Structure 1
Amino acid sequence: MKTTLIILISALLGFGYGDNVWENAHYSKEVKRENDTLTASLNKRVPTMKQQIITSLTFQKNDAEDAMNFYVSLFDNSRIIGIHRWEKEGPGEEGTIMQAVFELNGQKFICSDSPPVHDWDFTPAVSSFVECKDEKEFERLFSKLSEEGEVAVPPGNYGFSQKFAWVIDQYSVSWQLNLQ
């Protein structure tokens, strides 16, 4: 029972056999096997939550792919998950984005190039709020996002955080940058 409890606690805390806890030679192969079984069982029980709400960006100038690539280049832990393109017979320009899925720092987004040009476009009233980890990240993101874009609120201390800025990037997407 004591061994099982140690194994269970170790599995929950993420300790493995390469850690100091398991370097004692008196633990047998049976204990390792029991630990592996318990760890596998715990991993099966931990639910993986799917992101229920995903921001969708509709571009009207056939620049969805450029925007997506730009955003993915700015944020850590970001990637393009998949791209579905308009074909020759489709309503959109051949090769443009029908729908693409990408992640920015682990957060999913969808984008597309809209075949019809609508009476509406992006509005600054809806924006992505970015908590920056440090001054360097804040300055880098502000510089890149405001380049060829528009500064709606310049960087400053507005009383609710150390530093804040609001920019509308070159693709007309709005970003709030914050540094606590």
Structure 2
Amino acid sequence: MKQQITTFLTFQKNNAEEAMNFYVDLFNNSEIIEVQRYGKDGPGTEGTIIRAIFELNGKQFLCSDSFIQHDWNFTPAVSNWVECENDKEIEQLFKKLSENGDVKMPLDNYGFSKQFAFVEDRFGVSWQLNLE
């Protein structure tokens, strides 16, 4: 079997499915590939995600709803870098990802990029948006 490295997102508020659907709707060429759910016998809440596989613009991600509450959550120190094709795309992504989230760096020209923004979305996942 070929070794593969894939980003795995662990959600602690039983919102993995909501986040996954949000991302798949937001990015072109994206789809949900597989979803495994907890049943009535748990250990997670029935219907929440044990593990789901999805693609964002052809890049594979995995996610789950953690039934164990951890002392950690997502951190901006690890983020998803999105290379945008045009002004319209970066503005749309910025608007949707920053809605009810936290803008770390507003959309602007910072000298190293024509347009750049750093946002933490409403799920706590960080995104760096770039347009050269």
Category of TM-score, reference length = shorter chain? over 0.9
Q: Which of structures 1 and 2 has the larger relative contact order (alpha carbons within 8 angstroms, sep 6+)?
A: 2
- Helix, strand or coil at the partner of 1:72: helix
Other-structure match for 2:116: 164
Query: Is 1:123 matched with 2:75?
Result: yes
Other-structure match for 1:67: 19
Other-structure match for 1:133: 85
**TM-score, L = length of structure 2:** 0.97
Higher-helix-fraction structure: 1
| Partner Cα separation in structure 2 for residue 51 and residue 88 of structure 1 | 34
Give 1:90 shift.
1.9
Q: Deviations over 1:25-50 (max 9, x none)?
A: xxxxxxxxxxxxxxxxxxxxxxxxx7
Letter in 1 for 2:56: L
Other-structure match for 1:96: 48
Structure 2's unaligned 5+ residue stretches are none
Give 1:51 shift.
7.7
Aligned mate of 2:99, from 144, 147, 156: 147
Aligned mate of 2:6, from 54, 73, 77: 54
**TM-score, L = length of structure 1:** 0.71
Letter in 1 for 2:23: Y
How many residues align? The count is 131
Letter in 2 for 1:163: Q
Return the index of the structure with the highest Cα Rg.
1
Structure 1's unaligned 5+ residue stretches are 1-49
Task: Give the ranges of 4+ consecutive aligned residues of structure 1 lying more than 6 Å apart after TM superposition.
Answer: none
